[in-house]
Amino acid sequence: MSNHNEQPLSPLEIELSDAQSKQQQDLARAQSLQPKHRPLVEHIYTADPSAHVFNGKIYIYPSHDIQTDAEINDNGEQFAMRDYHVLSLDRDTFEATDHGVALSVEDVPWAQMQMWAPDATRKNGRYYFYFPARAYDGIFRIGVAVSDSPTGPFTAQDNYIEGTYSIDPAVFADDDGSYYLYWGGIWGGQLQNWRDGQFHPRDIYPADDQPAYAPLVAKLSDDMLSLAESPKDILIYDENGKLLRAGDNQRRFFEASWLHKHNQQYYFSYSTGDTHKIVYATGKSPYGPFTYQGVILNPVLGWTNHHSIVQYNNKWFLFYHDSTLSGGQTHLRCVKMSELIHDSEGKILPLQAYE
Ligand code: FUB
């Protein structure tokens, strides 16, 4: 129905109204493109997103989940990944681009299978990609591959990094030019198989009232290809100054180490595994010790929870995954992002998972 009392709009009014509606459309489009817990890509399954800003742009180094006939078990055999893709995000819209295969298991002489959660960093214009995989003896190790581009392709070193074992490497570049490698994971990640620098096939876990297994940290060598020192345990204390216990499944370390720095404070975050949360602890040094603070991300759809945290344009973002894209299959995940808030006291506001 038309309103016959309405006066026709003048050309100037039409122009203004068009401009307003364009502005509204732009706003709506910008809002719809803001990170709102939607999969960043849907044409492949992705997980374990490690995000970094290189040259003013966000790059994401995820695992590339695949369909498999492998058995679904606590060793994680269903996570049968064979290569890595790198994603980058448009500077304004956050729309993701898949840059294709950056490293494949066939191109890593020492690796047999299970290319799990990776990370990357940049030093002197070169890019270093750290990744765990099972070697031919069935033991998880951590390797490094190098490229002149943040999107690869990466060329792997002939052997894994000496002194490394277990999974989930994360690299942190401190303001003084030092680079630290964090890693470790229990159950499928095999941390429970290592004692006195030796691999033992039998799993051994501490009693519930004993300190939990600790993640590891070591400074990287100047050439970024080896450890510059023996790995050290990361100590995580509770509010009473006691080390978190193995039976404290709600808070103790399981896998997915990450380190970020905010207001001169170091935040070590990780997954609690069988209680499915991302939690964090803070400290004054990249080596720790750290004091447990609280939850960052509550459980998501799917068993695993794995994240990274990065600052971009004066905002902080959490990258994480869930299994919504596959309707809940734990080994077929999709990476997502969300803004993350540190409050005025430096506490991180916990996020619910959005499905
Ligand atoms: O993606 C395989 C494994 O699942 C990762 O290494 C763990 O952190 C968990 O996300």
Q: Taking residues 8-22, what's their average pLDDT? A: 63
Residue 29 has pLDDT above 60, yes or no: no
Assigned domain for 174 exists: yes
The listed range with the strongest mean pLDDT (6-20, 35-49, 67-81, 226-240) is: 226-240
Gap from CA of 116 to ligand 1 centroid (Å): 6
Give the position, in ligand 1's atom list, of the atom nearest the Cα of 189.
Answer: 6
Q: Taking residues 230-246, what's their average pLDDT? A: 98
Measured from the CB, is residue 268 less than 6 Å from ligand 1?
Answer: no
Assigned domain for 355 exists: no
Assigned domain for 2 exists: no
Gap from CA of 336 to ligand 1 centroid (Å): 15
Which structure tokens are listed for 58?
Answer: 């966000």
- Parallel, antiparallel, or unpaired: how do β-strands 334-340 and 315-322 relate? antiparallel
Q: Taking residues 146-157, what's their average pLDDT? A: 98
Residue 250 has pLDDT above 70, yes or no: yes
Q: Model confidence at 110, in pLDDT bands (50, 70, 90)?
A: very high
The pLDDT of residue 351 is 86
Assigned domain for 222 exists: yes
Secondary structure (DSSP) of 10-27 = PHHHHHHHHHHHHHHHHH
Residue 87 has pLDDT above 80, yes or no: yes
Average model confidence (pLDDT) across the chain: 92
Nearest protein CA to atom 3 of ligand 1, as residue: 116
Gap from CA of 263 to ligand 1 centroid (Å): 29
By the 8 A CB rule, do 78 and 116 touch? no
Assigned domain for 162 exists: yes
Measured from the CB, is residue 171 less than 6 Å from ligand 1?
Answer: no
Q: Taking residues 115-142, what's their average pLDDT? A: 98
Measured from the CB, is residue 117 less than 6 Å from ligand 1?
Answer: yes
Measured from the CB, is residue 167 less than 6 Å from ligand 1?
Answer: yes
The pLDDT of residue 30 is 41
Nearest protein CA to atom 4 of ligand 1, as residue: 304
The CATH code of the domain that includes 74 is 2.115.10.20
Assigned domain for 6 exists: no
Which mutation among 46, 168, 258, 333 tests ligand 1's pocket best, with the greatest number of atoms within 8 A of CB? 168
Residue burial 41-70, b: 16+ Cβ < 10 Å; e: rest = beeebbbbbbbbeeeeebbbbbbbbbeeeb
Catalytic (active-site) positions: 48, 255
What is the total count of domains within the chain?
1
- Note the pLDDT tens digit of each residue in 258-297: 999 999 999 999 999 999 999 999 999 999 999 999 999 9
The pLDDT of residue 22 is 55
Residue 32 has pLDDT above 50, yes or no: no
Assigned domain for 346 exists: no
The more confidently predicted of residues 355 and 282 is 282
pTM: 0.90
Gap from CA of 271 to ligand 1 centroid (Å): 10
Structural domain of residue 87, as residue ranges? Answer: 11-340
Q: Omega before 109 cis (within 30°)?
A: no
Give the position, in ligand 1's atom list, of the atom nearest the Cα of 47.
Answer: 1
The pLDDT of residue 123 is 98
Give the position, in ligand 1's atom list, of the atom nearest the Cα of 168.
Answer: 6
By the 8 A CB rule, do 137 and 165 touch? no
